[in-house]
Amino acid sequence: MDGVRVAAIRALTAAEALARRDDIAEIWPEASRDRLDEILPRHAARAGFRFFAAEEHDLMVGFSYGYLGAPGQWWHDLVSAAMTDEQRRHWLAPGHFEFVELHVRPEFRRRGIGGTLHDALLDGLESRTAVLSTQVDNDAALALYRGRGWQIVVPELRFAAGGTSYSILGLELAGEDEE
């Protein structure tokens, strides 16, 4: 990799991830304490929760996490309402994986850490599809995801009136076969 050192990637249990909220807040400054103190524990309790941390010299420099989505979950239900019946059946079928967050400290970007965290989070999943949302103007994220095979499923969705516009992306996984 031409002398660029990639951070060590390791899986954290839900309890380990929750114990590292201060580290997560440093990497993800846009997240409010409410999100970290209320929503992260809710996500950590969901089926299929996975969390990966990138570390260099005991410093968390990035993380990714996700879980199995299901009806009755806020994100799932808003995205489901924005999809056609066919999209919903395909992308949000029972057992789909929701790729929730991927963040890398700015000073550690452009070193392959985001891609490695992406790949670690999806590796070995039994899900047939994965879905995520990212801001429509987040060119770096869109380039990373498109480069790894993600496709835009819903071009634009606002989770709140007047809020930021997001694109919903989907990825076919090598999980369970359709029959």
- Total-model pTM: 0.90
> Which residues does 154 contact at the CB level (< 8 Å), separation at least 6?
79, 82, 83, 87, 167, 168
Helix, strand, or coil (residue 26): helix
Containing 132, the helix (H) or strand (E) segment is strand 129-135
Q: Domain boundaries in the chain? A: 8-94+107-172
**Is-catalytic flag, 145?**
yes
88-100 confidence digits (pLDDT tens) = 999 999 999 999 9
| % of the chain beyond a pLDDT of 70 | 94
40-85 confidence digits (pLDDT tens) = 999 999 999 999 999 998 899 999 999 999 999 999 999 999 999 9
Task: Give me 148's structure tokens.
Answer: 């790894």
**Architecture in CATH of 8-94+107-172:** 3-Layer(aba) Sandwich (3.40)
**Could you tell me the pLDDT band of residue 34, with boundaries at 50, 70 and 90?**
confident
Task: Give me 145's structure tokens.
Answer: 């995801």
20-33 confidence digits (pLDDT tens) = 999 999 998 778 77
135-174 confidence digits (pLDDT tens) = 999 999 999 999 999 999 999 999 988 889 999 999 999 7
Backbone angles phi, psi at 13, to 5 degrees: -70, 165
pLDDT at 2 over 70: no
Q: Cα angle at 25 between 146 and 92, to 5 degrees?
A: 40
Give the model's pLDDT for residue 175.
58
Catalytic choice (65, 67, 145, 166): 145
The mean predicted confidence, pLDDT, of the chain is 91
Containing 17, the helix (H) or strand (E) segment is helix 14-19
